[in-house]
Structure 1
């Protein structure tokens, strides 16, 4: 099977979309299929033995680490030459729109994955185009053969825009990388200064406005904790000024990231616009108690006081209160972490991508699944 993956982001960018595409490509190759990746420049023209067609792009003015591809005729030309069995659209917005248009002209089935709340992203950056962006994203998904959503909240969102043929497809977790075994007492000691009375509370992710990371100032006010911030982004200078007692690790990857995750006592997520929230899964797989907003993707991943704790995203007092409760209750942290670890142990990336291939790809490739394209809305 030949699969063309048109993605809004790919390596060397580090984010949920790029990471998911990487795992899909790896599994396709392992199973003997032939993928092609079409992604924004800059970046290498190959990922292993897989071709990556790079399309010219520009940097967002306030988010320069996220290049946005420009519509390019090379997309349709390369798809026509590659002759894929289907086109996978990873979080389609701009480049994905070009890929969708080309696929429809070539009469190719499409699987579109909704992964980024671009309207919410724009709203957090003060761009008054969020209704327009929401309509545009819904328009693209209405024209795809099948749309995959990562959570029930995402499904409800797209149903509200009359997007048909929605199917739940969650993200996987690298269980060979993340785990409680990665906990490092020396790292914990370096964070706490050797003070065993401190509970290590950490945030892991992009330090950006859409993640609402300035709420970490509320977390830092809880007594008896050591706040650790793992990641990088445009909000880091503000956080460093306002959180003088926090430890900042910068961007971590691979084994270093797994070690940092497992060395936390509590993981706190601050963003309320997550379609899934992969870092919640990674914390759970690391054996760490999770506190997340009761909104969006975390609602599918965290059952309050069973596999983690949830707080109303608008309630600062409850955010602080729940951090304090977890900091003071090692037994509660252990119980929450243990149940969550059992829950995520069945979500390896190979299992999740096999579901993509054997269920969702198979459905659009079947004669009944590809009876023409959905009409434009």
Structure 2
């Protein structure tokens, strides 16, 4: 079998109603599958105001809003309509991109119909409770995730560091890599625009520290703010440029009164904003890959990031940026100060980062996941049963 024989049922908790790096990667992958001649059916919650048009055929699933975070929805069951649609579609593989209630039910449905399943890991759900004062729940959530992923034939992670963490957590025996690509037409140093910077209130000679992403607490906004406070206390000249939207925007603006907030950006506007920064600061520990880090690298920027999954696979400490112990405010401040004070140092690191980013092309990245699909199907046909974990 090749890609033309694939009939993939993809289950997502958020395929297009709120834009994020994970669902943009999924939409791009579905487009790649369709171009290769595969058949794809996507099952996900929908809203009347989606963030963007979906790629492929999208079937709406029953859902309810997340308490306190109403922009997100929880798909809670597999309705009779969805089951009938699945039966008519006749998939030969099920892809699960979120361990939510619908994902669990879809996994049970696939196992009942003896279909192979592949799960993609997009975020570290087990770390989320710590940002809401509920860190004691992390072991429970990790146990729930382990039960979900062990029932799949294979799982894929976006970085080797995340894949290794999943192995250490005993999530699965079969852990592969489905990394992320970069659109070099959008993200490159040539997008830098000094006139745009000046219009935003940034002088040419002021080092600009960027933040890119959803403005939610789990992105490390508290660590970012505390670090900028220390940099200001040290009287290091700098400007902060924040690109993104989210429910924590008011909180973040209050903490960073001197920062420039551009709001949500996409396409060439996003490429211009990123390339017009001088460095990226990404203190988050929840990402499994870190799309924004790769985008900044492609634009020739050094990144100061938490030493965490995703960033560890992209950055080489003291070559393409700095990797700092999570939450180490003083060390983050030292690293940012070094780049603010030394234009030659950040230019050197930025050039190395750009060279590293050249390795990530979307077609090669997506073909790797297609190869995983075909391997899992082949193993099922040969009667090879997947082991659930490297550790009993």
- Structure 2 length normalisation: TM-score? 0.89
Which structure 2 residues correspond to residues 285-304 of structure 1 after superposition, within 5 A? 285-304=298-317
CA distance in structure 2 between the partners assigned to 1:166 and 1:220 by the alignment: 38
SS of 1:84's equivalent in the other structure is coil
Is 1:23 the counterpart of 2:32? The answer is no
Q: Which residue of 2 aligns with 1:76?
A: 83
State the secondary structure of the residue aligned to 2:32. helix
- C-alpha distance in 2 between matches for 1:146 and 1:329: 46
Change (3 A) 1:158 1:370: farther
Please list, as runs of the form range in 1=range in 2, the aligned pairs for 1:83-232 lying within 5 A after superposition.
Answer: 83-127=90-134, 128-162=136-170, 163-193=172-202, 195-221=203-229, 222=231, 223-232=236-245
Query: How far is the alpha carbon of 1:245 from its aligned partner?
Result: 0.5
Q: 1:281 to 1:85 in 2, by over 3 A?
A: same
Corresponding residue number in structure 1 for 2:8? 3
Residue pairs, 1:50-65, within 5 angstroms: 50-65=56-71
Is the alpha carbon distance of 1:138 and 1:43 closer, same or farther for their aligned partners in structure 2, counting shifts above 3 Å?
farther
- Give the secondary structure class of the aligned counterpart of 1:244: coil
1:157-189 superposed Cα distances (whole Å, 9 cap, x missing partner)? 322342211112212222232111211111211
Say whether the 8 Å CA contact 2:283–2:327 is kept in structure 1. no
- Between the aligned partners of 2:206 and 2:382, the Cα distance in structure 1 is 58
- Structure 1 pair 126–59 and aligned structure 2 pair: CA distance change class (3 A): farther
Q: Aligned-residue CA RMSD in angstroms?
A: 2.2
2:3 is matched with: none
The match for 1:278 among 271, 283, 291 is 291
Q: Describe the SS at the equivalent of 1:175.
A: coil
Q: CA distance change for structure 1 residues 14 and 250 in 2, over 3 Å: closer, same or farther?
A: same
Residue matched to 1:362: 374
Distance 1:85 1:368 in 2: 11
- Provide runs of 4+ in structure 1 moved above 6 Å: none
Shift of 1:51: 1.5
Structure-1-length-normalised TM-score: 0.93
CA distance in 2, matches of 1:55, 1:279: 30
Structure 1 residue 125, shift from structure 2 partner: 2.3
C-alpha displacement of 1:88: 1.2
**Distance (Å, rounded) in 2 between the aligned partners of 1:49 and 1:185:** 35
| Structure 2 unaligned residues grouped into runs of 5+ | 1-5
Are the aligned partners of 1:192 and 1:200 in contact in 2 as well (CA < 8 Å)? no
Of 266, 289, 300, which aligns to 1:253? 266
Q: Structure 1 unaligned runs (5+)?
A: none
Task: List per-residue Cα deviations over 1:235-277 (Å, max 9, x = no partner).
Answer: 2111111211100111111221111111100111021232111
Following superposition, the deviation at residue 371 of structure 1 comes to: 2.7
Structure-2 residue corresponding to 1:33: 38
Distance in 2 separating the partners of 1:244 and 1:167 = 43
